[in-house]
Amino acid sequence: MRRRTAVPAVAVGVTLGMVLAACGGGSDEGGDNQSGKAEAKQNAAVGQIFKPSTKKGGTIRYANADDFDSVDPGDTYYGYAWDFARYYCRSLTMFDTKPGDEGNKIVPDLAESLGTPSDGGKTWTYKLRSGVKFEDGTPITSKDVKYAVERSLDKSVLKNGPTYFNDLLDLQGYPGAFKDPSPDKLGLKAIETPDDQTIVFHLKEAFGGFDYIAMLPATCPVPRDKDTGSKYKEHVVSSGPYMFDTYEAGKSFSLKRNPNWDPATDPHRAALPDRIEMQLHVNANDIDNRLMSGDLDVDVQSIGVQAATQAQILNDPNLAKNTDNPTLARTWFAAINPDVAPLDNIDCRKAVLYAADHDGYLRAFGGSVGGELPTSLLPPSIPGWQDIDLYNFKEHKTGDPEAAKQSLQACGQPNGFSTNLAYRSDRPTEKAAAEALQASLAKVGIKATLKGYPSGDYFALYAGKPSYAKSNNLGIMLHGWGADWPDGYGFLSQLVDSRTIRESGGNYNLTVKDPEIDKLLDEARTKTSIEAQQPFWAQIDKKVMEDATILPGVWAKVLLYRPTRLTNVYVNEGLGGYYDFVQLGVQE
């Protein structure tokens, strides 16, 4: 899933800060004891539940600085939307609703247990729980899950969602549910439904991490007779504890309790509030203000506190105690392009890695609040991560000019060389990082000329288009990547697999072209259990660092503000650093 990155806020900064300081922050603590003593402090909701509660009632108020790509579970690719979808839809599996490492584990949701692999991992079978119904009382069958996956295959009508099912299933030319010629629209042979409770997936090749795929909202059941295609999002039929009440496209929507949700079939969801309200397109600075004043409960995108208010909040102990700073499954980094001379020589690339000011890069992204100093590509929250520090970043936090110069000698450029450094010009953090990098490289004679590009077309037309990058000498390209889910495959598959690189642009793998890495990926895929796959991720990470085609910049963290009204709140590591929305409660 994709976490939206922080949209640079308008620099209201100092004055706004002064005004806010003059007015004080949000309301102080008072009457917060739900169960046990709940003393607010920083990171109170990271690793454990803050203000655990079973008390039902109230309305929880969400705001979104933008709009969902879609609330249709078959048409969405934002991490926060996947988190939010757990209110109204149940997929076959889910990340456990627990804090800490427990949240990284997959548990069955609509299914009664995790998938059963067969045929060497090419076939996966799930049995659905009984007694689960749609919001209108109709029982949910395996055919509803099959139909849901089939419709999500059509990337023209439902264009936003991920393509894992398109890539993994043995489609044999199936055109998607909307163009399905069979009268019941269930013509996909790669998914079988031998009975109403059983569903079987046939993959093209073995894939050990299929339980992650089964977690995707695309497996949330959709009743075929209620599907309206691109208009389905106007009323998504619920299989979860809440159902849609009002929906005003682009403006707001709300959910109320689903009378046909049976908690006995759903051991994982707390479903505490009676009502959920979502406002769309709310000014990002306004969201921060409202969180602090108590007029808003959750910033659904969880971008984090805007830069303008961060310093002010952290310096005020009364506000700082209401913050959480979880780690994300995201790395900011610089891709080093082996297609651009002299970076086609591995020693020249290593020179860049040695010379870089890692501390400066991190500071550009907000320092210790913005993240951790990385030593490899894979972020530590990915299970299977190992500490890899091939270039001694930890010892040389501001760079190692000596080692860099040695590498330059080795690659035949003793006095350095010139190249272009691409970054997204509308992102101030990226610009600051580019400048820090430029300065540190200059110390060893590597002259990097900054080239800013608009983020909208960065991957489609510029850095992500191999021919453009090559002809414009983009030797270093700033990048950032978050896993769709905290798993090595979810993080690495689109980032380091050389076979995903296409000439037409739109690539996310900008620089990693190593057949050995491709082989490791393939091997990992065939393992039939998630645990068996995990050792591969560290191996791939090590190889990427050995190839010196990636300079890690930041292992990202996010600074969240936790309104005092929230109860039962914690960060779900599996969802990737968001609060576990479906567990939240509100106190009046």
Partner 1 sequence: MFRYIIRRLLASVLLLVIISMITFAIFFLVPRLAGATSDDLAARYASRAADAAQVHALSERLGLDQPIWVQYGKFVKTLVAGADYDTGTGTDHCSAPCLGYSFVTQNPVGPELLDRLPVTASLAAGACVLWLLGGVATGVMSALRKGSVFDRAAMGTALAGVSLPIFFTGLVTLSVFSYSLGWTAPGGSYTPLTQNPAQWAYDLLLPWICLAFLYAAAYARLTRSGMLETMGEDFIRTARAKGLPERTVVVKHALRSTLTPITTIFGLDLGLLLGGAVLTESTFSLPGIGKYAVDAINAHDLPKILGVVLVATIFIILANLIVDVLYAVIDPRVRLS
Per CB under 8 A, residues contacting partner 1 are 2, 10, 12, 15-16, 19-20, 23-24, 63, 66-67, 70, 77, 151, 154-164, 166, 177-178, 227-231, 248-251, 279, 281-283, 285-286, 289-290, 292-293, 295-296, 456-457, 459-461, 465, 468, 494, 502, 504-506, 508
CA distances from 553 to 289, 361, 374, 481, 513 (A): 30, 6, 6, 11, 20
- Least distance CB 159 / partner 1 (angstroms): 5
Q: With respect to partner 1, which residue has the nearer C-beta, 312 or 345?
A: 312
Q: With respect to partner 1, which residue has the nearer C-beta, 189 or 502?
A: 502
Q: Are 495 and 509 in contact (CB under 8 A)?
A: yes
Please name the amino acid found at residue 418. S
- Which helix (H) or strand (E) element contains residue 254? strand 252-257
Residue 548 phi/psi, 5-degree rounding, is 55, 35
Helix (H), strand (E), coil (C) string for 373-430: CCCCCCCCCCCCCCCCCCCCCCCCCCCCHHHHHHHHHHCCCCCCCEEEEEEECCCHHH
Q: Work out whether strand 585-586 and strand 93-95 pair parallel, antiparallel, or are unpaired.
A: unpaired
Q: With respect to partner 1, which residue has the nearer C-beta, 198 or 230?
A: 230
The SS3 assignment for 344 reads coil
Q: Work out whether strand 585-586 and strand 418-424 pair parallel, antiparallel, or are unpaired.
A: unpaired
- Least distance CB 179 / partner 1 (angstroms): 9
Q: With respect to partner 1, which residue has the nearer C-beta, 155 or 397?
A: 155
The SS3 assignment for 445 reads coil
Residue 120 phi/psi, 5-degree rounding, is 70, 20
Q: Are 566 and 298 in contact (CB under 8 A)?
A: yes
Please name the amino acid found at residue 441. L
Q: With respect to partner 1, which residue has the nearer C-beta, 163 or 409?
A: 163
Distance CA 440, CA 61 (A): 46
- Least distance CB 226 / partner 1 (angstroms): 10
- Least distance CB 464 / partner 1 (angstroms): 9
Q: With respect to partner 1, which residue has the nearer C-beta, 155 or 542?
A: 155
- Least distance CB 235 / partner 1 (angstroms): 13
Q: What is the number of other CB atoms lying within 10 angstroms of the CB of residue 524?
A: 24
Q: Work out whether strand 327-336 and strand 298-299 pair parallel, antiparallel, or are unpaired.
A: unpaired
Q: Which residues pair with 571 in a beta bridge?
A: 579
**Residues 6 or more apart whose Cβ sits within 8 Å of residue 259:** 135
- Least distance CB 488 / partner 1 (angstroms): 17
Q: What is the number of other CB atoms lying within 10 angstroms of the CB of residue 587?
A: 18
Q: Tell me the CB-side half-sphere exposure of residue 414, using CA atoms within 13 A.
A: 1
Q: Measured at the alpha carbon of residue 577, what is the angle toward residues 573 and 582, in degrees to the nearest 5?
A: 80
CA distances from 377 to 53, 104, 211, 351, 548 (A): 38, 20, 24, 17, 11
Q: Are 180 and 153 in contact (CB under 8 A)?
A: no
Q: Measured at the alpha carbon of residue 214, what is the angle toward residues 228 and 189, in degrees to the nearest 5?
A: 65
- Least distance CB 414 / partner 1 (angstroms): 36
- Least distance CB 571 / partner 1 (angstroms): 25
Q: With respect to partner 1, which residue has the nearer C-beta, 231 or 519?
A: 231
**Residues 6 or more apart whose Cβ sits within 8 Å of residue 457:** none
- Least distance CB 490 / partner 1 (angstroms): 11
Distance CA 305, CA 475 (A): 33
- Least distance CB 256 / partner 1 (angstroms): 20
Q: Are 434 and 333 in contact (CB under 8 A)?
A: no
Q: With respect to partner 1, which residue has the nearer C-beta, 48 or 228?
A: 228
- Least distance CB 390 / partner 1 (angstroms): 30
Q: With respect to partner 1, which residue has the nearer C-beta, 218 or 408?
A: 218
- Least distance CB 480 / partner 1 (angstroms): 13
Q: With respect to partner 1, which residue has the nearer C-beta, 67 or 195?
A: 67
Q: With respect to partner 1, which residue has the nearer C-beta, 2 or 129?
A: 2
Q: With respect to partner 1, which residue has the nearer C-beta, 83 or 180?
A: 180
